[in-house]
Amino acid sequence: MAAERLGNGLGDSLGLSLPFVALEVVNRTEFTVSDKEKEILRELAKHVSELAHRSLEEEKRNLWYKHNDLEPTRPLIFCDPENGWYQIIRSGQLKCQGDLARIWEYRLRKEIFWGEEMQDDRVIQPYFDVQHVFQESGRGLVERRISSGEDEGAYTWDPPLKDYKYFRNLRFLRFEIDYERSEDLLNLAKEVLGDLLNVRLQGVWWWSLVRTADFVSLRGLQQMMFDTYDNPEGVHSVMAFLRDEALAKLDFLEEKGLLSLNNDGTYVGSGGFGWTHQLPQDGFKGKVRTRDVWGFGESQETVGLSPEMFEEFIFAYQLPVLQRFGLNAYGCCEPLNGRWHIIRKIPGLRRISVSAWADIEDMAEKLGRDYLFSCKPTPSDLAVPKMDEDYMRTKLRNIVKTTRNCNVEIIMKDNHTIGNNPQNVTRWCRIAREEAESI
């Protein structure tokens, strides 16, 4: 059965949770909002503004500042249900009819749910951000997806780099910014919401950098793994290409003044927020440089490589890019225990993802108070009609106990379903908060 999404074919695989994903959806819409829709959006924005100005938000903000600057706090709690949002805010609840208005309504309703129902440590802010409108060129070689035909079901793909002789056809991804359309979107948001929320044009241009997922799209996962033995020079050539592409992207964004600070409530890495007093760095005069912001890297697809091979084929090409940032986050779903002695070489390394597949006791000993322990419990525990609360409490209590000497944040994310039960996420947050406050 097809996912409901927002109606009119709107939606994406992450519940419009992340700006760099939502951007593609927004760009396909017509930038219009009717008078009736404006009234609906303004009422919701007023509610968000009221939530954002509670003293509670300042308390949460101060917690994140202390946490990210490595001062001791209780464990911080954050839940983003991602695809589960479609089971919390359903298309039938939306009152707007136009595509853009429905996307904005959805965003505002999420903020209200976070502030009133979720009650995690995410700060409700008096902002409404829009992103630049742009087109991204292709790399010259395009994968062909072969779907199972089921919505969100399995698929495979036909990778285009079937032989490394085609490497010469690769070219860097490049941005073409539509400044006029970007200004139209910003002005419309200001017209509709500007007296209620601070409307900002924010640059969000990537999730992670030098992604091995891009290599997999070009060559195929199995073939990429084989190539580390059969054609190591080919692997090195593609990784060098992805490194140089990322560096060129950062140069372009920096030179054109398109970067935005993320030392606030911006989602950073694979979980957690950017609040810190350590960014921007000295010499900042308004134009954002890469050293003024958080960077992020991961390599989930290469868990089958030994630490030595990971360092040679992957990390060596990520490091020159991550060196440009003031602070860094690393890791997503991959367990980092065996790679820690390599990862720790990243300058400004601060937030470390400790996934459900990691040995948390080992990582707690490795990270101590020197880094942020970004703990990711498995989302499958919420993918049922009714979560087993006793089991979940025991699991969270063990996490809190194991990480008592760490700067820990407990992040619930990567949910493809919450069992059609919004109470799974709200109860998870309550239980996690109770356990976090019990230490």
Q: For residues 272 and 329, is the Cβ–Cβ distance under 8 A?
A: yes
3-class SS of residue 212: helix
111 neighbors 16 (Cβ within 8 angstroms)? no
Residue 296, both tokens: 């992020």
**Res 2: pLDDT:** 47
Taking the C-alpha atoms of residue 438 and residue 241, their distance in angstroms, rounded to an integer, is: 49
Tokens of 396: 């969270």
The phi, psi pair for 130, rounded to 5°, reads -120, 155
- pLDDT (tens place) for every residue of the chain, 439 residues total: 345 688 888 878 778 877 777 888 888 899 999 999 999 999 999 999 999 999 999 999 999 999 999 999 999 999 999 999 999 999 999 999 999 999 999 999 999 999 999 999 999 999 999 999 998 889 999 888 776 666 666 777 889 999 999 999 999 999 899 999 999 999 999 999 999 999 999 988 988 999 999 999 999 999 999 999 999 999 999 999 999 999 999 999 999 999 999 999 999 999 999 999 999 999 999 999 999 999 999 999 999 999 999 999 999 999 999 999 999 999 999 999 999 999 999 999 999 999 999 999 999 999 999 999 999 999 999 999 999 999 999 999 999 999 999 999 999 999 999 999 999 999 999 999 999 999 7
SS3 content of the chain, % helix, strand, coil (to 5): 45, 10, 40
Three-state secondary-structure class, residue 46: helix
Domains within the chain, CATH numbers bracketed = 19-436 (3.20.20.210)
Local structure of residue 281 (DSSP, 8 states): P
For helices 389-402 and 360-367, angle between their N-to-C axes, nearest 10 degrees: 30
DSSP state of 160: S
Strands 134-136 and 175-177: antiparallel
Residues 6+ away with beta carbon under 8 Å from 156: 145, 146
**What pLDDT score does 3 carry?**
52
DSSP string, 64-126: HHHHHTT---SPEEEE--GGGGGGTS-GGG----SHHHHHHHHHHHHHHHIIIII-SSPPP-S
Q: Whole-prediction pTM value?
A: 0.95
Residues with Cβ within 8 Å of residue 387, at least 6 apart in sequence: 381, 419, 421, 423, 424, 427, 428
Tell me what pLDDT residue 25 has. 86
Which residue type occupies 352? I
Q: Are 77 and 432 in contact (CB under 8 A)?
A: yes
DSSP tag of 312 = I
CA distances from 83 to 13, 22, 210 (A): 6, 13, 25
Question: Which pLDDT does position 153 carry in this prediction?
Answer: 67
